[in-house]
């Protein structure tokens, strides 16, 4: 049989490609099965009407020493010609106040005190930054986490340090409690700022985000933020090339329809024929995986209900710029929630002014605007109204003039579901909830022998660094179990 591999990975997002590349690096032949005509899932780019637009992710973090993406690149020898951003982000408050999210922690604390007042800001941000450094160090040190075998527990105990326990206790406290501890819970301006920032990376509000994840989420601008000319597809393509260079295959327009076992091997029926492998890694949301992999249903793996998830409304714009931009990423707080979806902020990402590859016409730029849509199942959105409200906001804050827009199109939950195949158009990572402790999140081991999980519905699955980490953990557990 031609389509025989050591491992098959279902889904070509950053989690799936990470696990595939690391297994290929160990000498396994790997097939990555992708239902779309482009690899990358929610981290990719596509050409339309003379512009290159992003499919989802627009921020690139994780290239610093000790972070997951750097680990992956070091293991594979892949080099990314990334531009480091001098200013990771600006936040525009509802009253028009502009906040510079500086990378250097001292610069950021000074800015936070200027905007929100000096009370509590320094100890709050110094603590958050300290926690974030612990989380990134522990993430790669504890690649068996969360544990699901005796061997995992032994390795975790072996690698543990006394100081780890003082940090671990913060998984029992919420970010709302941390604000209260520092006397910041009555600072309405700061509370609104924190809630909207947490939505970007933790997908939830401070009452539901534990301190370990929340502090790390708030501090992602205090690490290197980068940009890739030509879009995120140029993060994906080197991984595809690496996997194929090691004898693997990235099969596009190849939707997995059923995963079953045949003795000691997995048999995967797809829209392009049957694949066989010793191991299988699901790199799609658990809801999707359960529909094609009956065995995991019998192992107690449950769906994630729509009411716990988010989709997004995205407006992609090609336009003629008339000003210099101080940053390329902006979060804009709104005077009133957007119609029908109650979103109180939008996130704007621009193409880099020195990147001449995002438009067929010299001098034009690309803008991507996204906002959250909670509980996407059956949600009907008034896309024309949302589009108008967003452009009104961009005009109000002098980001662009609507007469300078050359091309635009929008995407809601149905478009996201069609593009990614993800149930209900769910995007952005599984939100944090206080009732789910870090060790209770979905494990890389699915239950059936030789079956694993990665992507943004498994631990920890938040943004590119978290999704890459999930792929590292899946490859690590598979390797330790069987190789």
In which band, very low, low, confident or very high, does the pLDDT at 442 lie, cut at 50, 70 and 90?
A: confident
Residue 1: per-residue pLDDT: 47
Interatomic CA distance for residues 363 and 44, integer angstroms: 23
pTM: predicted TM-score of the whole model, two decimal places: 0.95
Q: What is the pLDDT of residues 84-114, one digit of tens each?
A: 999 999 999 999 999 999 999 999 999 999 9
DSSP helix/strand/coil, 30: strand
Interatomic CA distance for residues 275 and 483, integer angstroms: 21
Asked whether the predicted pLDDT for residue 298 surpasses 70, the reply is no
Structure-token match 């009133």, residue found: 336
Burial class (CB in 10 A: 0-12, 13-18, 19+), 401: middle
Asked whether 292 and 258 are in contact (CB, 8 A), the reply is yes
Q: Which two tokens stand for residue 429?
A: 């990572």
What element of type H or E holds 332? Answer: strand 329-333
Interatomic CA distance for residues 425 and 57, integer angstroms: 15
Q: What is the pLDDT of residues 340-375, one digit of tens each?
A: 898 999 999 999 999 999 999 999 999 999 999 988
Average pLDDT score over residue span 427-444: 82
Asked whether 14 and 474 are in contact (CB, 8 A), the reply is no
Nearest to 227 by CA among 435, 353, 84: 84
């Amino acid at each position: 049989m031609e389509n025989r591999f050591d491992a098959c990975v279902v889904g070509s997002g950053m989690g799936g490609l990470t696990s595939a590349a690391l297994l290929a690096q160990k000498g396994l032949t790997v097939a990555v099965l992708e239902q779309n005509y482009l690899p990358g899932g929610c981290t990719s780019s596509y050409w339309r009407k003379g512009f290159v637009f992003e499919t989802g992710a627009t921020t690139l973090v994780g290239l610093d020493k000790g972070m997951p993406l750097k680990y992956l690149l070091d293991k594979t020898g892949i080099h990314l010609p990334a531009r480091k951003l001098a200013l990771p982000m600006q936040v525009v408050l509802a009253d028009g106040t502009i906040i510079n999210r500086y990378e250097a922690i001292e610069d950021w604390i000074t800015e936070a005190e200027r905007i929100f007042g000096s009370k509590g800001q320094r100890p709050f941000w110094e603590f958050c930054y300290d926690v974030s450094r612990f989380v990134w160090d522990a993430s790669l040190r504890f690649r068996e986490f969360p544990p699901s075998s005796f061997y995992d527990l032994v390795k975790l105990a072996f690698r543990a340090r006394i100081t780890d326990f003082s940090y671990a206790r913060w998984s029992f406290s919420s970010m709302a409690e941390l604000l209260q501890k520092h006397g910041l819970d009555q600072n309405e301006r700061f509370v609104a700022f924190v809630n909207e920032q947490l939505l970007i990376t933790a997908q939830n509000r401070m009452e539901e985000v534990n301190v370990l994840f929340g502090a790390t989420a708030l501090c992602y601008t205090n690490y290197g933020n980068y940009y890739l000319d030509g879009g995120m597809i140029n993060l994906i393509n080197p991984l595809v090339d690496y996997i194929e260079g090691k004898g693997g295959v990235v099969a596009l327009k190849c939707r997995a329809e059923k995963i079953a076992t045949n003795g000691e091997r997995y048999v995967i029926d797809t829209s392009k024929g049957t694949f066989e492998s010793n191991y299988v890694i699901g790199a799609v949301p658990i809801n999707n995986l359960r529909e094609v992999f009956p065995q995991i249903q019998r192992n107690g793996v449950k769906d994630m209900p729509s009411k716990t998830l988010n989709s997004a409304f995205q407006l992609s714009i090609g336009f003629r710029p008339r000003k210099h931009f101080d940053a390329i990423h902006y979060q804009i707080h709104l005077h009133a929630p957007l119609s029908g979806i109650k979103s109180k902020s939008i996130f704007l990402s621009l193409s880099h002014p020195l990147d001449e590859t995002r438009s067929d016409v010299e001098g034009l730029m690309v803008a991507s605007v996204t906002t959250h849509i909670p509980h996407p199942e059956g949600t009907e959105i008034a896309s024309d109204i949302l589009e108008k409200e967003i452009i009104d906001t961009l005009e109000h804050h002098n980001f662009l003039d609507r007469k300078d827009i050359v091309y635009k199109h929008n995407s809601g939950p149905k478009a996201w579901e069609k593009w990614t195949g993800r149930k209900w158009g769910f995007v952005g990572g599984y939100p944090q909830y206080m009732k789910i402790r870090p060790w209770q999140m979905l494990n890389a081991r699915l239950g059936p022998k030789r079956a694993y999980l990665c992507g943004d519905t498994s631990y920890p699955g938040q943004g590119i660094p978290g999704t890459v980490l999930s792929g590292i953990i899946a490859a690590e557990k598979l390797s330790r179990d069987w190789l």
